Amino acid sequence: MQPPIKVLIVDDESSQRSGLAGMVSAWGMTAETAAEGEEALRKLATFHADVILTDLNMPGLDGFGFLAKLRDAGEMPPAIVLTAYGNIETAVKTVHEMGAYWFLEKPIQPGPLEILIRRAGSHAALRAENRAMERNLGYKGAVGDLVGTSPKMQEIFALLQQAGPSRACVLITGESGTGKELVARSLHALSTRRHGPFVAINCAALPETLMESELFGHEKGAFTDAHQQKKGLFERAHQSTLFLDEIGDTSLGMQAKILRVLQEREFMRVGGTEAIKTDVRIIAATNKNLEQIVKEGKFREDLYYRLNVIPIVCPPLRERGDDIDTLAYHFMRKAAFVDGRRVEKISPEALQAIRNYYWPGNIRQLEWAMERAVVLGEADCVELRDLPPEVLQHAPALTAAPAQPSEEALRPIIPEGTWEEHEKAKILEALQRSNWNITRAAQLLGMTFRTLQYRLEKFAIKRPNG
């Protein structure tokens, strides 16, 4: 049995505190309360909360100050902000800048709040699990789902420890779904810039004109729809980390502009006349062979060498055989915790089928497969029948003798190039089911609000007109 989630409730209104504490207790969780930030900090010294629910507008140390102190101290528990004064700007500030897990407006609906607390609790449990794995298995893990004991992952963990504190550029390469963004976030978490925001952009998701405005910002009146000044990502990531995903898809013109910022440490907003200094650590990622496209004249050689100061290669899952079991159990426990299920093991037949499969979608596909198995399973054990059809097609007969896999068996059911189409289809389905409510869609997908926002930008998904 999982221990009960411990929740600290911070609100200056006694009726809100008691009401929330009653709900949390009714869900089988442990609740503690505080009337403002300073009292909450004192409570955390003895009450080791898994999740924090906090108001923003409070006397004394308010919610912003409370979150800032937790963030600066490091290892902040997932915090869900509850406020009657919510708006988009406040949500962005609390989630992106202050490091909060989620944002909800009062009056609070019990159903969504319970889901959020359980999901936030799963993140806290996974962090604790990773720390335990570091101690027990002898490797240095990073954050979230970046786990493994294979030699190739040991090399990555060693690189993270060495490169994390540096300000040097890092180039992360690997197939889709191999965890490149997790590596980037780990580098940020291990850096001296970790108290600043992790700012990310998908370079393949925007046309060059929009991307220039996103990266460098623009002045009011710079173009037709520029109704006000906008700060770009280089400005927002000052003294922090900027992640340029799919850098291999940028145009030569945009590559030249990025190179200039890296060399001169300054830029100008679109339509601006004054140079703006910036101190940004750049982490770039791509699933393309940059050396090859440099030879083809599609990527600037000088930018390639400027980005490739510290190269990190994320291996495909098929080359991480020693990690298959660890990852399968990791994702099984994660899905079970979120769904409030008791699923503790994987049958030998199911585990063998997982080992035999080619996993063209890599870690991302394995996570979805284990989530499916937990949701559809009826017992405390993942059985062979609970796995996706494409995995079952490669499962050996129970009485069959071991044999070398055929060429047909090694051919992926879902080619690598179409796996992202599958992910995009799942996101669109969730958006349609939730009537394009991003918060609800993220809940259906098991993602955080920030992750879904990033995926929407990556796939250029916009709500249809009408």
Tens digit of pLDDT for each residue in 13-30?
A: 999 999 999 999 999 999
CA angle (277 as vertex; 276, 282 as ends), nearest 5: 115
Question: What is the per-residue pLDDT for 218?
Answer: 83
- Return the higher-pLDDT residue of 146 and 377: 377
CATH of domain 416-458: 1.10.10
Distance in angstroms (rounded) separating the CA atoms of residues 142 and 153:
11
Distance in angstroms (rounded) separating the CA atoms of residues 78 and 253:
41
Residue 285 token pair:
């990622």
Distance in angstroms (rounded) separating the CA atoms of residues 57 and 36:
9
What share of the chain in percent tops pLDDT 70? Answer: 83
Q: Band of the pLDDT at 128, cuts 50, 70, 90?
A: low
Into which CATH architecture does domain 323-410 fall?
A: Orthogonal Bundle (1.10)
Distance in angstroms (rounded) separating the CA atoms of residues 189 and 348:
36
The answer to which of 54-68, 115-129, 355-369 has the lowest mean pLDDT is: 115-129
- When mean pLDDT is compared over 388-397, 411-420, 431-440, the highest value belongs to 431-440
Tens digit of pLDDT for each residue in 32-80?
A: 999 999 999 999 989 989 999 998 888 889 888 898 888 777 667 888 9
Q: Band of the pLDDT at 455, cuts 50, 70, 90?
A: confident
Question: What is the per-residue pLDDT for 143?
Answer: 43
SS (H, E, C) 313-330: ECCCHHHCHHHHHHHHHH
DSSP 8-state class, residue 270: B
- Give the other-Cβ count within 10 Å of 380's Cβ: 11
Task: Give just the sign of the alpha carbon dihedral 151, 155, 160, 162.
Answer: positive
Q: Band of the pLDDT at 144, cuts 50, 70, 90?
A: very low
Could you give the 3-state DSSP secondary structure of residue 299? coil
Instruction: Reply yes or no on whether the pLDDT at 154 is more than 70.
Output: yes
Instruction: Reply yes or no on whether the pLDDT at 403 is more than 60.
Output: no
DSSP 8-state class, residue 78: P
User: CA separation (Å) from 193 to 156, 261, 281, 284, 309?
Assistant: 20, 19, 9, 16, 18
Fold of the domain spanning 6-131: Rossmann fold (3.40.50)
- Return the higher-pLDDT residue of 445 and 114: 114
- Return the higher-pLDDT residue of 253 and 410: 253
Distance in angstroms (rounded) separating the CA atoms of residues 447 and 222:
36
Distance in angstroms (rounded) separating the CA atoms of residues 269 and 212:
9
Q: Where are the domains of the chain?
A: 6-131, 146-315, 323-410, 416-458
What share of the chain in percent tops pLDDT 90? Answer: 35
Question: What is the per-residue pLDDT for 291?
Answer: 92
- When mean pLDDT is compared over 56-70, 230-244, 431-445, the highest value belongs to 230-244
pTM: 0.59
Into which CATH architecture does domain 146-315 fall?
A: 3-Layer(aba) Sandwich (3.40)
Residue 249 token pair:
């898809």
Stretch 304-310: mean pLDDT: 95
Question: What is the per-residue pLDDT for 11?
Answer: 93
Residue 39 token pair:
């009292």
Stretch 334-340: mean pLDDT: 76
Question: What is the per-residue pLDDT for 27?
Answer: 93
Question: What is the per-residue pLDDT for 415?
Answer: 47
Distance in angstroms (rounded) separating the CA atoms of residues 83 and 67:
14
The answer to which of 86-95, 194-203, 261-270 has the lowest mean pLDDT is: 86-95
Stretch 115-119: mean pLDDT: 85
Could you give the 3-state DSSP secondary structure of residue 335? helix
Domain pair 6-131 / 146-315, same fold: yes
Q: Using only the alpha carbons of the chain, give its radius of gyration.
A: 23
